[in-house]
Amino acid sequence: MKTDAPGKGTPPRLLILDDEAMTGETIARIANFAGFEARHLTSSATFFDEVTRWQPDILAIDLIMPEMDGVTVMAELARRGSQARLIITSGGGSRILDAAGRSAREHGLDIVGVIAKPFSAVGLRELLHKALEMEGDLVEALPGKRTLPRQASVEDLEQALTLGQIRLAYQPKIRCRTGTLVGFEALARWQHPQLGAIPPDVFIPLAEAAGLIDRLTLQVTKQALDWLAELSSEETVRRVGQHVLQAISLSMNISARSLGNSELFDAILRLCRERGITPQRIVLELTETSAMQDATTSLDTLTRLRLQGFQLSIDDFGTGYSSMVQLVRLPFSEIKVDKQFVMTATDSEESRAVIRSVVELGRSLCLNTTAEGVEDQETLDYLDELKCDLAQGYLISRPLPPEEVLDWFTTRETQREERRLLAVEGLDLLDTPAEARFDRLTRLACRLFGVSTAFISLLDRDRQWFKSQQGLDLTETPRDIAFCRKTLERDELLAVPDTHEHPFLRDYPGVVGAPFIRFYAGRPLYLRSGEKVGTLCLVDPEPRTFGEEDAVLLDDLAGMVENELALSSTDGYDACTGLLNRTSFREQAEAACQLCQRLGLPMALVSARLEELPSVNKDFGRDTGDRQLRDLAALMSEHTEHADLTGRYRATEITALLMGADLARVNDIAKQLHLAVEHHNENQASDKARFMPSIRVAALPPGKGPFEQRLEEAWQLLG
């Protein structure tokens, strides 16, 4: 039933079934005002006759009625093959409404939505207009006559396959956290010359029943792989200027009927190889129910596909009845949360609970989680909060014809880059002086990885600017020759063991000329909003290996940089001394402690305490006491310039922490600090208060436990 918009031609028809006459009249008045022709009934006895005679476009049904409850009414509508769209109303609570909605969908009814009583006129009007806007296989509303088109036949489908009428549209998939494009899902579309658009839930079962599903699958696979090969080609990448296109994935749906046909999957693998597409970029999707129909066949086939490199996704998860044991047995790499839960996440606690459970399940099984049906920013934000990996839906893009994909991509990337540049500017760090809080991290990176150069860069519109650098006598480079520009195209760490063997970087000026870079590793730096503003990078003039443990370590260091980016230049710092305050020192020392624990490194501290500070404040005034603290902080910073952390750990105490240091090293620092204090006091005027800090050291060998607990234990051992 294709209905006309209100005010154009025959108005759409709404039939209301509600045993409360006043409620039915209210719904009818709201609908009439919105341009609908509405009738209401209070008895189910005459309802079905009226549906047959009047052929309404939309039905509004109350669940709770004395003669026949709404669930029974919906079952009877399904039995009669009703094509009307359905709005369910009830005062029975959200769980009952959600369950009734699922029941209607299970019966194959075209449900628009559910609305709880008492409802607002605005809410009802939104549902009515949503019913008109929904895509569907509907016929024109003609006065006095409404007929359904004939259904597509097997002969129609065979002809469509012969003539190539079934085409593909591609819906983008992005990372929830960053918005970076990671792939597309290929969706089959059939536009029949006489019957119009025939939806997949009609022609896919038809193909399965007629034994045409493998032919259909192979035909659309060829289309999809040809498109992916062109999208990933060197020519396209040069034209668009984004190498991320060479790594995007493509998801394709597989019927359960095809799982036993090994020749089909051999053909798909052959098509990939012929086009130079690695199987790792292809995601084969199966619905939860189909994957569980024949667990043994599924296990054999899916295991073979994973061994060949294909990714496997369990689609519409949460709608079937699979056992957890069966799910764990099958080698999936992705779980997709069904859109019926995602689309109702903003107003259904039950849907949110399902999404939360599926995401947690995916994380516990080391699977990617994808949410489909994302239609608003609130839902995407909720998914990001849950740490769901990927999202697709109309908020990101509708399914696109192949010829529209590149324009969509370039337009979207331009918009994302402008938002990213605003985020970089918002940091207020560009062209600012060096800061110890960043320099300590680049020094630490050089020391831990043994590289000659480490830097923290921010990627501006036309340049790469270095906020901190070790071993690099530059403040910026042009953006177009910056390695970090390539790092930010994707969300993953970029490691290049030997730049001379890298297809894109081997000709870069910094590789063929000074500083003659042979090794590079860069990890994007994220703001809490998800924007990528720069990188933490390692560079060396010699080729190097870079393993998984190295990647984890660089990720940890980048996390420390991100913590600093989240702070302003004064947040977390003591106003008197300019060093880290107690809270920041403790938090960062805890992170350093965990890092040393994983690397098996010792830690050592040197601490100077002004035990007489309360008396100085009392006898000479607070200004004198503050000056002594500042003087002590300056001396500590001077003699522990390579410390990883220096801060005002307690009110009267300045502490420096050194990773990888032993007791002998901090004892040397303590001696130098003691001499510096004596020299400072000798140069003080006789009427000025002198300070005599208590200096002590401690070593923390590699081990478990919170930082403060281990530190107190170390002090106790020293007596």
Q: List, for residues 620-666, the tens digit of each pLDDT value.
A: 888 888 999 999 999 998 888 788 889 998 889 999 999 888 889 99
Residue 66, class by beta-carbon neighbours within 10 Å (0-12 exposed, 13-18 middle, 19+ buried)? exposed
What's the pLDDT at 231?
95
Average pLDDT for residues 265-286, to the nearest whole number? 96
Sort 331 into a burial class: Cβ within 10 Å, 0-12 / 13-18 / 19+: middle
**Residue 358, helix vs strand vs coil:** helix
Nearest of 252, 253, 248 to residue 229 by alpha carbon: 248
What is the distance of C-alpha 310 from the center of its chain?
22
Are the beta carbons of 231 and 405 closer than 8 angstroms?
yes
* Average pLDDT of the segment spanning 90-108: 75
C-alpha 33/C-alpha 229 separation (Å) is 53
Strands 166-175 and 390-392: antiparallel
Our CA angle for 13, 17, 19, nearest 5°, is 150
One-character DSSP codes across 528-578 = TTS-EEEEEEEEESS-----HHHHHHHHHHHHHHHHHHTS-SSTTB-TTTS
Give mean pLDDT, residues 494-512: 89
State the DSSP H helix or E strand holding residue 227, giving kind and residue range, or none if neither. Answer: helix 213-231
Q: Which residue has the tokens 């002998």?
A: 664
Q: What is the pLDDT of residue 321?
A: 47
603 to 233, 273, 599: CA distances (angstroms): 50, 52, 11
pLDDT at residue number 6:
40
pLDDT digits (tens, 9 = 90+) for 402-453: 999 999 999 999 999 999 999 999 999 999 999 888 998 999 999 999 999 9
Backbone angles phi, psi at 345, to 5 degrees: -65, -30
Q: What is the DSSP track for 624-693?
A: HHHHHHHHHHHHHHHHTTT-SEEEEEETTEEEEEEET--HHHHHHHHHHHHHHHHHHHHTS-TTSPP---
- Cβ(206)–Cβ(257) below 8 Å: no
**What is the rounded CA–CA span in Å between residue 174 and residue 297?**
32
Measured in degrees and rounded to the nearest 5, phi and psi for residue 249 equal -95, 165
Global pTM?
0.72
Catalytic residue chosen out of the listed positions 185, 288, 372, 531: 372
- Report whether 199 contacts 137 (CB < 8 A): yes
The pLDDT tens digits of the residues spanning 53-86 come to: 899 989 999 888 777 888 888 888 888 888 888 8
Model confidence pLDDT, tens digit, residues 163-208: 999 999 999 999 999 999 999 999 999 999 888 888 888 899 899 8
Give the per-residue pLDDT at 465: 96
pLDDT tens for 222-250 read 999 999 999 999 899 888 878 889 999 99
**Residue 411: per-residue pLDDT:** 95
Q: Which amino acid appears at position 684 of this protein? A: Q
Residue 34: CA atoms inside 13 Å, Cβ hemisphere, count? 25
CA atoms of 641 and 638, how far apart (whole Å): 5
- The confidence score (pLDDT) of residue 137 equals 36
Q: How far apart are CA 263 and CA 409, in angstroms?
A: 35
Q: Is 332 helix (H, G, I), strand (E, B) or coil?
A: coil
Q: Would the pLDDT of 135 be above 60?
A: no
Q: How far apart are CA 60 and CA 45, in angstroms?
A: 16
Which of helix, strand or coil describes residue 244?
helix
Lookup: tokens for 190:
């059939």
Q: Does 118 sit behind a cis peptide bond, omega within 30 degrees of 0 on the bond before it? A: yes
Place of tokens 């051999």: 266
Report how far residue 1's alpha carbon sits from residue 84's, in angstroms, rounded to the nearest whole number.
Answer: 7
Residue-wise pLDDT for 450-466, tens only, equals 999 999 999 999 999 99
Q: Is 372 annotated in the active site?
A: yes
User: Which helix H or strand E contains 467, and what residues bound it?
Assistant: strand 463-470
Residue 569: predicted pLDDT: 58
Q: What is the pLDDT of residue 4?
A: 43
Closest CA to 529 of 619, 683, 426, 408: 426
- Digit-coded pLDDT (tens) for 341-392: 898 888 888 889 989 999 999 999 899 999 999 999 999 999 999 999 999 9
Quick one: tokens of 683? 């140069």
Helix (H) or strand (E) holding 370: strand 368-372
Q: Letter for the amino acid at 121?
A: A
Judge contact between 492 and 570, C-beta under 8 A: no
Work out the number of other CB atoms within 10 angstroms of the CB of residue 700. Answer: 24
Q: Tell me which long-range contacts 341-346 makes (C-beta under 8 A, separation of at least 24).
A: 342/371, 342/372, 342/373, 342/374, 342/379, 342/383, 342/393, 343/373, 343/375, 343/379, 344/98, 345/379, 345/382, 346/376, 346/378, 346/379, 346/382
Q: What is the DSSP string of 261-281?
A: -HHHHHHHHHHHHHTT--GGG
Q: Kindly report the average pLDDT of the chain as a whole number.
A: 86
Pick the closest to residue 317 from 266, 269, 357 (CA basis). Answer: 357
pLDDT tens digits along 395-408: 999 999 999 999 99
- pLDDT tens digits for range 43-55: 887 888 899 889 9
- CA Rg value for the chain: 33
Partnered with residue 371 across adjacent β-strands are 337, 391
Percentage with pLDDT > 90 across the chain: 47
Q: How far apart are CA 391 and CA 175, in angstroms?
A: 6
Beta strand 645-650 with 653-659 is antiparallel
Average pLDDT over residues 137-148: 36
Token pair 């459970």: residue: 357
pLDDT tens track for 210-222? 999 999 999 999 9
Could you give phi then psi for residue 399, rounded to 5 degrees?
Answer: -60, 130
Nearest to 398 by CA among 171, 131, 134: 171
> One-letter amino acid identity for 629?
L
Reported confidence tier of residue 144, pLDDT bands at 50, 70, 90: very low
Quick one: pLDDT at residue 5? 41
Cβ proximity of 458 and 547 under 8 Å: no
Mean pLDDT of 143-149: 41
Query: What's the pLDDT at 145?
Result: 38
Report the distance separating Cα 581 and Cα 693, nearest Å: 19
Strands 519-526 vs 494-496: parallel, antiparallel or unpaired: antiparallel
